[in-house]
Amino acid sequence: MGVRIIGTGKAVPKKVLTNEMMSEILDTSDEWIYSRTGIKQRYISTGETNTKLCVDAAKDALKDSGLKGEDIDLIVVATITSDKLTPSTACLVQTEIGAKNSMAFDIVAACSGFVYALDIAVKFIKSNEYKNVLIIGGEVLSKILDWSDRKNAVLFGDGAGAAIVTNDESDYITSINCVSVGEKAHTLTCNSLEIKNLYKKHSDDFSNYLSMDGKEIFKFAIDVIEKSIEKILKEENLRFEDIDYIIPHQANSRMIDTIAKRKNYDRNKFYMNIERYGNTSSASIPIALDEMNKKNLLKDGMKIILIGFGGGLTYGSALVNWKK
């Protein structure tokens, strides 16, 4: 029993927020943001919910795959910005796309979420009980940002990306490796609901804005990207030259520049679209994958490495041997 990706999709809000527009509300500039991150703009919700973006990405992926909602056996949504504590975003997507035959649940793995969802999809399919799995990474990060904090506010955008994974006689997704590093959890956090009841009153110190130690995350990301690439190359008996593309989580273009220089990797093999989308957390890899698919950049037989890293801390990687 093997697996392969047969469809991709994405969705973003209508509103584009450029660096120039950011400079009107924050003490920043296009030069300051772009030189440090590689970001020129991002999409920001003006009311589009995370569920809406996930549904639209799912419908796009279904269209690309030629499947219908009732063909889906499992829906996994990776998100840290769900609209509701319950029901899950996956259950809301299930209703909207007519996936009446599917099981549905959410996972929380932040920027690694899509790779985690891919790992789940592969394992469920290889159990021989599921055939078609819809995986989605979707975020409305703008609702958890402190918009007075220029260090974090300029980094993130909203959006969703999806892929449909199915069974196949051959195995086109291999060397999946997902890891959690909980001892570094404090470096990227976002609180949920405050404990507030008959015995516990509101605390002025409580915040549910995203908090990140940028320097520590930068070092962590560089380390795990290098490890992930080397692990896949070793497991698959490949050289870096054998890889056609690497799709990393779109966190910061300087990370990729640093890795490419340090390891003497061909920088052009790293597909980056952070300039247009910013950091969309769990949505960044599937948005990039769909963009490449729809631009016909991906050809049958290409070898693509996916690498996610982020809150948890978590990281995950996989080798996709592309066949549509």
Query: Which residues are catalytically annotated?
Result: 111, 249, 279
Question: Encoding tokens for residue 324?
Answer: 């549509």
Where helices occur in 5-45 by DSSP H, the ranges are: 19-22, 30-37
- Spatial distance between the Cα atoms of 189 and 195, rounded to a whole number of angstroms: 17
Cβ(125)–Cβ(133) under 8 Å?
yes
Residue 6: helix, strand or coil by DSSP? strand
Which two structure tokens, joined as six digits, stand for 89? 């975003």
Cβ(222)–Cβ(255) below 8 Å: yes
Tokens 């991709």, located at residue = 8
Structure tokens given for 121? 């999809």
Count of beta carbons in the 10 Å neighbourhood of residue 19: 21
Q: Residue 99: helix, strand or coil by DSSP?
A: coil
SS3 10: strand
**Inter-residue contact 21 to 70 (CB < 8 Å):** no
The distance from CA 177 to its chain's CA centroid, rounded to whole angstroms, is 16
End-to-end CA distance of the chain: 17
User: Phi and psi (nearest 5°) for 93?
Assistant: -65, -45
159: left (phi over 0), alpha (psi -120 to 50) or beta: left
**To which H or E segment does residue 248 belong?**
strand 245-248
Q: Is the peptide bond before 313 cis (omega within 30 degrees of 0)?
A: yes
